[in-house]
Structure 1
Amino acid sequence: MSELDTQRLRQLELLFAAFNRHDGAGVMAVMTDDIVFDAAAGPEACGRRISGAADVRAAFEGTFATFPDVSWECTRHAVFGDRGISEWIFRATAKDGSRIEAEGVDLFGFRGDKIVSKSAFRKDRPALPAKGAA
């Protein structure tokens, strides 16, 4: 693995650590200012495209606010030249107490050692009952 590949792999680790701290500044520290994020769901074929550091940060901070306990359990990161992939399990509790748990994958593009694109894919799964509910 090249030194650049090692740096890129480290950026993916730092990204998900920042996600799990709910740290918008930490998330953006590993991304370029012209980042393009394709969310898993939305009205476009790509989901919902969000461009630029300010709007991407706002989108992630919105997720942190909507799901105060949101977490991503990463099961694998890999880097292939200027592309990367992360496999994860998304977990969160909705305001009604129902739980969300779904596997997903992110495809990344890199420019240098920074993330320039993130495209999210997530399994579509019904919400789980609230903890303790029958």
Structure 2
Amino acid sequence: MSEERLREFIKAWIRQDIEAVMSFIAEECIYETSTGPEPGQTYVGKEAIRKKFIEVLADDGDGELQIGLTFVHGDKGLSEWRYDYTDAEGRVIPQHGCDVFEFVGDKISRKSVFRKTYA
């Protein structure tokens, strides 16, 4: 995986182009969300991940995703992000986080999401 290819994945995510997003995902990929019962929640396999990605992208609504530091080193990568959304009271709520990636060839084999939350 090259840094340029990882950035193409992120651009597809921002466009909410699920077909393009899934073209970067390995068949036996692992997707670890930042919330859920584990902590987080783990999805394994391209079809399970596709369903979850569709759900996540649908929830993005009118939010704005900004990408920060992004790099690839060998079979690992990282991308920092900021996601601003508007809550029910009209306040803009910023979230900061990063995705940690593992790669097999030019495909994403693991995407693990971390984010900062408010107390």
TM-score by length of 2: 0.88
Q: Which amino acid in structure 2 is aligned with residue 15 of structure 1? A: F
Please name the residue that 2:15 is paired with. 21
Counterpart Cα distance in 2 of 1:122 and 1:100? 13
Which of the pair has more CA radius of gyration?
1
Partner of 2:35: helix, strand, or coil?
Answer: strand
Please name the residue that 2:98 is paired with. 105
Counterpart Cα distance in 2 of 1:11 and 1:38? 21
Please name the residue that 2:37 is paired with. 43
Partner of 1:25: helix, strand, or coil?
Answer: helix
- Give the number of equivalent residue pairs: 118
CA 71–16 in structure 1, closer or farther in 2 if over 3 Å, else same = farther
**Structure 2 unmatched ranges of 5 or more:** none
Identical aligned residues as a percent? 32
* 1:76-118 Cα distance to aligned partner (Å, 9 max, x none): 1111111001011122345x35543211011100001111000
Q: Which amino acid in structure 1 is aligned with residue 100 of structure 2? A: L
Task: Report the Cα offset of residue 31 of structure 1.
Answer: 1.2
Task: Report the Cα offset of residue 15 of structure 1.
Answer: 1.4
Please name the residue that 1:62 is paired with. 55
RMSD of aligned residue pairs (Cα, Å):
1.7
Partner of 2:61: helix, strand, or coil?
Answer: coil
CA 41–113 in structure 1, closer or farther in 2 if over 3 Å, else same = same
Counterpart Cα distance in 2 of 1:17 and 1:115? 15
**Structure 1 unmatched ranges of 5 or more:** 1-6, 127-134
8 Å CA contact retained: 1:18, 1:26: yes
